Structures are given as structure tokens and as C-alpha cells.
């Protein structure tokens, strides 16, 4: 993989992990510098246009907030509201629509430790009928961090079940 592609992916991950949503200008300088060094574009600048802002470290464009879908906008708002939104998101985890369950788990994960009250409900969704929801619940538990420690036995069970299934093939 080329340095530019690696740099693009690293920058994208850094933007996602730090909650930066536009051009990366709010990315902590130490992270930006490390990404630029790893991609071989140290000292790069950012160019912007009316439509998108693009890092010169890549050809990857991140949509500006006014170009987000309604779902992206709502997800960002709920994430920023934080713990106060957790009860409603937990109710959404039990929605009949798998897409709603998936989105609720995703948003809870993005809240990090603020979503710790959702841990028991996320653990219950480790066994959701939809694979996509199961994965989102597992990721969310990891993103919540140490407050998810009650999930460890269930996660180990899934790991063991997956290893057994792989061995049976």
C-alpha cells in the first residue's frame, strides 16, 4: 500500500476517533503531525473549497456538516448530547427495525464512557439476530471502555463460539 493511501486511511481514522468532522483542522496537532509523518507529507497544508475540504495528505474528501445526511446530523447531535440521550438510545436498541438497532449501538459507542448505562443492553445485543447489530454492539462495548467490563464473559463466549465454528469448517 502506498504512503499516500496509508496516510489517507490514518488521517480518516484519526478524524473519526477524535470526533473531528470537517477538514481535520481541529485534529490535535500531535496526531496530525504523526499522521503526516507516517504518510510522508509532513508540513502539508489544507485546501478548502465551498463543497468539501480535502487533506493534501490524500485525495479523501470529508463532507462539510451542511452536506451531511439527516441521519449523520442526528447521530452527531445525539453523540454530543451524551448521557442524557442514553435512555432513548437504549429503547432504540430494542426497536423491531434492525437498522434502528444498528444506529443506536453505533451512537452509543461513539459516546464512549458516557454510555456506560447502556452496557447491559448492549451485552444483550451480542446475540441479536442481525450480524450487523451484533458487531455494532460489540464495538460499542469496546468504545465505552472499562465500564464495559461486565461484558467480558459474554465477549469471551462469542470469541469461543466463533473459534469453534471456524474449527468446524
Q: Edge-to-edge strand order for the sheet containing 61-63?
A: 46-48, 52-55, 61-63
pLDDT for 114: 95
Contact at 8 Å (CB) between 168 and 137?
A: no
- Residue 73 vs residue 3, higher pLDDT: 73
Domain coordinates of the chain in residue numbers?
A: 3-65, 70-168
Q: Stretch 62-87: mean pLDDT, rounded?
A: 84
Query: Residues 155, 125: contact at Cβ < 8 Å?
Result: no
With 0.75 as the threshold, say if the pTM is over it.
no
Q: Name which CATH class applies to 70-168.
A: mainly alpha
Is pLDDT above 80 for 16?
Answer: no
pLDDT at 125 over 60: yes
Amino acid at each position: 500500500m502506498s504512503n499516500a493511501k496509508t496516510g489517507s486511511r490514518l488521517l480518516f481514522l484519526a478524524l473519526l476517533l477524535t470526533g473531528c468532522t470537517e477538514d481535520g483542522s481541529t485534529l490535535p496537532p500531535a496526531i496530525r503531525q504523526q499522521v503526516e509523518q507516517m504518510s510522508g507529507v509532513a508540513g502539508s497544508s489544507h485546501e478548502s473549497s465551498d463543497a468539501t475540504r480535502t487533506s493534501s495528505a490524500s485525495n479523501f474528501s470529508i463532507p462539510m456538516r451542511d452536506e451531511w445526511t439527516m441521519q449523520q446530523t442526528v447521530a452527531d447531535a445525539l453523540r454530543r448530547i451524551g448521557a442524557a440521550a442514553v435512555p432513548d438510545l437504549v429503547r432504540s436498541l430494542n426497536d423491531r427495525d434492525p437498522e434502528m438497532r444498528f444506529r443506536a449501538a453505533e451512537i452509543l459507542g461513539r459516546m464512549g464512557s458516557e454510555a456506560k448505562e447502556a452496557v447491559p443492553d448492549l451485552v444483550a445485543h451480542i446475540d441479536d439476530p442481525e450480524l450487523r447489530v451484533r458487531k455494532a454492539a460489540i464495538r460499542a462495548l469496546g468504545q465505552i471502555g472499562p465500564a464495559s467490563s461486565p461484558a467480558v464473559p459474554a465477549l469471551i463466549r462469542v470469541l469461543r463460539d466463533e473459534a469453534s465454528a471456524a474449527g468446524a469448517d
